[in-house]
Amino acid sequence: MLKLTIDEERWPIAGSFTISRGSKTEAHVVTVTLSDGTHTGHGECVPYPRYEETVPQVMAALEAARDKIEEGFSHRDVPALVAPHAAQNALDCALWDLEAKRLGKPVWTLAGLPKPQPAVTAYTLSLDTPEAMGAAAAKASGRPLLKLKLGREGDTDRLRLIRRNAPNSRLIVDANEGWTPENLPAMLVACADVGVELVEQPLPAGHDEALRHIKRAVTVCADESAHGLDSLDAMIGKYDAINIKLDKTGGLTPAIALAEASKARGLKIMVGCMLATSLGMAPAFLLSPMAEFIDLDGPLLLKQDREPGIHFDGSLMYPPPASLWG
């Protein structure tokens, strides 16, 4: 028998975090703990209103499945136990952690993945005025990869000022569905002009057919349009890459399957995250050997991360310690 513990946690952000849809000042997460009396596994998820998930909904879904969870379950059982993808993520990752502790082997070995190595993560610049983002870029100009939150009037000026103030940083952009088919061609040209390598989700999910007909010099990556394997076919012909987030796929298990299938279909891989602590980043980091772009900077944006946490040397991210997860 297992013992399930469900907790709600709030982690203040250092300042605020703004994207095209709005701002937030904290990471609001749900954690799952599974204990067999000897070993304990942990998982973390971020219920995201954009996907019609809330913290109370996720906690209620986990509580409703308590009896079946505590009877014991496999990774294959997770989608039938809890419906929201965030709840599935926390449960799946807690089980991986528990299995690793029971067997005394790291999760990457159990999952048949390459051994993770230190890797550079993107560092996100929150959406703000062009001048403020330019100033933020100057402060972050020593970081090798910057992710720019765009999607509002003035994006061309933002790009120009950021590039001027961070001339040596690689740039990727996340428009968070904030552009339109009408301004998309000009925005992609503006991105190419300053050397942006990738643009995430420029158009609203469900209204992105224009991408099939637009020539571009910049890689376009699906985020809000892409969830699990069932969404993959719809990405082909519109997107060049896919952002895999465990809170969208429903855990590490389906994320691995999605990454392998995406590679087979010729899509580049970005491994991303919601705003969360190192516990939420740790399972996703195992996908980093398959990814061209890594965006797991959630802990860097918090006032304080959990202890123990993932070690960051600037933007260089190290594999999670076993005392944290996996």
Domains in the chain: boundaries: 3-104, 119-317
Distance from C-alpha of 306 to C-alpha of 234, rounded to nearest angstrom: 38
Tokens representing 321 are 């310690």
What does the DSSP assignment read for 126-137?
A: PP--HHHHHHHH
Backbone angles phi, psi at 124, to 5 degrees: -85, 135
Question: SS3 of 179, please?
Answer: coil
Taking the alpha carbons of 274, 26, 54, 61 in that order, is the dihedral positive or negative? positive
Residue with tokens 């890689």: 219
H/E run at residue 168: none
Distance from C-alpha of 101 to C-alpha of 180, rounded to nearest angstrom: 48
Backbone angles phi, psi at 263, to 5 degrees: -60, -40
Give the domain 3-104 fold: Enolase-like; domain 1 (3.30.390)
- Give the number of other CB atoms < 10 A from CB of residue 184: 20
Q: Are 250 and 241 in contact (CB under 8 A)?
A: no
Q: Are 1 and 15 in contact (CB under 8 A)?
A: no
pLDDT digits (tens, 9 = 90+) for 276-298: 999 999 999 999 999 999 999 99
Parallel/antiparallel/unpaired status of strands 3-19 and 22-35: antiparallel
Q: Is 68 a catalytic residue?
A: no
Report residue 274's pLDDT band, with 50, 70 and 90 as the boundaries.
very high
Tokens representing 246 are 């465990």
Residue 301 has pLDDT above 90, yes or no: yes
Report residue 87's pLDDT band, with 50, 70 and 90 as the boundaries.
very high
User: What pLDDT shows up at residue 210?
Assistant: 92
Residue 313 has pLDDT above 90, yes or no: yes
Q: Is 263 a catalytic residue?
A: no
Distance of CA 203 to the CA centre of its chain: 18
Instruction: Please tell me which residue in 101, 149, 215, 263 is annotated as part of the active site.
Output: 149
pTM score = 0.96
CATH number belonging to domain 119-317: 3.20.20.120
pLDDT digits (tens, 9 = 90+) for 5-57: 999 999 999 987 878 677 889 999 999 999 999 999 999 999 988 888 999 99
User: What pLDDT shows up at residue 50?
Assistant: 82
pLDDT digits (tens, 9 = 90+) for 173-217: 999 999 999 999 999 999 999 999 999 999 999 899 999 999 899
Instruction: Please tell me which residue in 105, 245, 268, 303 is annotated as part of the active site.
Output: 245
Q: Are 83 and 77 in contact (CB under 8 A)?
A: no
Looking at every residue in the chain, the average pLDDT score rounds to: 96
Size (the chain), residues: 326
